[in-house]
Structure formats: structure tokens, C-alpha cells
Amino acid sequence: MDEFKPWGLEKNTYLMLMHLSQLVGFCVPGAGLILPIIMWAVNKDNSPEIDRHGKVILNWMISALIYSVILIFLMIIVIGVFGFLILLLLDIIFVVVGAINASEGKLWKYPLSIQFFKVEEA
């Protein structure tokens, strides 16, 4: 039986691109939210690995959104500006580390993520 190749890519490459697709939002507003969700939703039923990585990514994106809303209110006392800079840096670091691990066939749960979707271990 042939191994499932999402969008014609090796699975680890696809998983890596799922993580990195979050960074597209820096160039195309909104795409960093939509693209990883589409990549996960289209192939989650075909591969448990894709489903697990997609849930890890979604947990982080929702958590980062919540942190951003909190930081908006904290901008009143200036600390929110620094918080946004730290969150931006953490976002880039977490995405890159997640992508590197995915390319090596490992699942890395983003630190500071709230578990909205339960991610089952392999």
C-alpha cells in the first residue's frame, strides 16, 4: 500500500509547511490564519500525524489571539507594546522550532499554548 502524500509532498515536508504557513501572515494579512487551517482541514482525516500537528498549530493560534486581545488592553499602561513585541518574537521562534521538528518527524507542542484541542500522543 502506498503511503499517503498530501498535495504530492512527503508527509514531513507537508507538516513542516503547515507550521511555516503561519508566517505567510506577515506578507499577506489573514493568510497566516487561513492557510494552516485549510492545510489541516483538507488532510486531517487521511493522516493522524497531520491531525496532531494541525491541532498543535490551532491551539497556538487561538492562544496567541487570546494573548493579543489581553495585550491590547495592556497597551493603556504601555506594557502591552512590549508584550506584543515579545509575542511576535515567540511566534516566530515557536513556528520555526515546530517546523524543524516536523521536518524530522517529531511533534513539538508550542509552549504557552492552551489546550483547546486535545492532541493525542503517537
What pLDDT, in 10s, does the model give residues 79-96?
Answer: 889 999 999 999 999 999
Q: Are 87 and 67 in contact (CB under 8 A)?
A: yes
Angle formed at CA 29 by CA 89 and CA 38, multiple of 5 degrees: 95
SS3 10: coil
> Tens of pLDDT along 15-37?
999 999 999 999 999 999 999 99
More confident residue, 4 or 56: 56
Length of the chain: 122
C-alpha cell at position 16: 513542516
> Alpha-carbon distance 120 to 87, whole Å?
26
Q: What percent of the chain has pLDDT over 70?
A: 98
> Alpha-carbon distance 103 to 37, whole Å?
19
Positive or negative, the CA dihedral 17, 53, 41, 94 is negative
H helices, E strands: number in the chain: 4, 0
